[in-house]
Chains A and B, each alone.
Chain A
Amino acid sequence: MTINVDRPCGTFDSNYYQAMEIFRTPLRKFLMIAFIVLLYAIAFILDDYIISILIVFCAFSIGMTGLQIITGYAGQISLGHAAFMGVGMYTMAVFQEHLGFNFWFALPLAGLVPMIIGMLFGVPAVRIKGLYLAFASLAAHFVIVYAINNWRSVTNGTDGMYLHRPGVLLGIDFMIDKYYYILVLTVTVIMIYFAKNLSRTRLGRAFVAVRDNDIAAEVMGINIAHTKVLAFGIGCFYAGIAGAVGGGYYEYVNVEWFTLTDSIWYLGFLVVGGLGSIFGAIAGAVVWKSLDELSTLVTPITEALLGGMAFYASAAFSLVIYSLIVIVVLVLEPRGINHRWQIIKRSYRLHPFPY
Chain B
Amino acid sequence: MEDLLKSIMLGLASGGIYALVAVSYVIIYKSTRIFAFSQAGMLVIGAYTFWQCLVVWSLPIWISILITLAIAAAIAIIIERVSMRPLIGQPILAPIVVTLGVMLFLRGIALLFWHGEVEGYGEAFLPLGVWHVGFLSLPKIQVYGFIICMLVIALLISFYKYTRTGLGMRVVHEDHLVAQNLGINVKRIFQYSWIFSCAVAVIGGMLLGNIQGVGLDLDANGLIAIAAVLFGGLESFGGAVIAGLAIGIIQIFAIQYLGALLPGEITMLVPFVFLLLILLIKPYGLFGLVRIERL
Chain A residues at the B interface, C-beta cutoff of 8 Å: 71, 75, 77, 79, 121, 123-125, 127-128, 130-132, 134-136, 138-139, 142-143, 146, 149-150, 152, 213, 215-216, 219, 260-261, 264, 267-268, 271, 275, 309, 312-313, 315-320, 322-324, 326-327, 330-331, 334
Contact = CB atoms under 8 A, between A and B. Distances in A.
B163 interface: no
27 contacts: A71-B93, A131-B96, A132-B279, A134-B96, A138-B223, A138-B272, A143-B272, A146-B264, A213-B295, A215-B295, A260-B223, A271-B94, A271-B97, A312-B111, A312-B116, A313-B112, A315-B111, A316-B108, A320-B105, A320-B108, A323-B104, A323-B108, A324-B101, A326-B101, A327-B83, A327-B98, A330-B87
Given A146-B269, A268-B101, A124 B276 contact: yes
B90 interface: yes
Nearest to B288: A128
B92 A130 contact: yes
Contacts of B227: 139
B260 interface: no
Listed from nearest, the 10 A-B pairs whose CB atoms lie closest are A319-B108, A124-B279, A150-B264, A320-B108, A316-B112, A323-B105, A316-B111, A139-B272, A323-B101, A326-B101
Nearest to B108: A319
Interface in B10-27: none
A130 B291 CA distance: 12
B226 A324 contact: no
Interface centre among B104, B111, B262, B284 (most CB of A within 10 A): B104
A123 B265 CA distance: 26
Nearest to A334: B94
Given A139-B273, A312-B111, A316-B111, A128 B283 contact: yes
Interface centre among B93, B108, B263, B269 (most CB of A within 10 A): B93
A155 to B, nearest CB: 12
B263 A150 contact: yes
Contact of A132 (B262, B264, B283): B283
A319 B111 CA distance: 9
Contact of A309 (B90, B115, B293): B115
A316 B109 contact: yes
Nearest to B114: A312
Interface centre among A125, A309, A312, A323 (most CB of B within 10 A): A323
Given A327-B98, A327-B105, A330-B97, A142 B272 contact: yes
B284 A128 contact: yes
Contact of B280 (A77, A124, A312, A323): A124
A271 B100 CA distance: 13
Contacts of B266: 146
Contacts of B92: 77, 130-131
Interface in B252-295: 262-266, 268-269, 272-273, 275-276, 279-280, 283-284, 293-295
A318 B104 CA distance: 10
Given A139-B275, A317-B112, A331-B86, A268 B97 contact: yes
B105 A267 contact: no
Interface residues of B, number: 47
B212 to A, nearest CB: 18
B101 A77 contact: no
A6 to B, nearest CB: 22
B94 A330 contact: yes
B170 to A, nearest CB: 22
B30 interface: no
B82 interface: yes
Contacts of B272: 138-139, 142-143
A319 B107 contact: yes
B100 A267 contact: yes
B199 to A, nearest CB: 22
Contacts of B275: 135-136, 138-139
B102 interface: yes
Nearest to B111: A316
Contacts of A142: 223, 268-269, 272
A200 to B, nearest CB: 24
Contacts of A315: 108, 111, 116
Contact of B104 (A131, A135, A261, A271): A261
A249 to B, nearest CB: 26
B86 A143 contact: no
Interface in B89-143: 90, 92-94, 96-98, 100-105, 107-109, 111-112, 115-116
Interface in B64-103: 82-83, 86-87, 90, 92-94, 96-98, 100-103
B194 interface: no
Contacts of B284: 128
Contacts of B108: 315-320, 323
Contacts of A216: 295
B35 interface: yes
B245 interface: no
Contacts of B115: 309, 312
A129 to B, nearest CB: 9
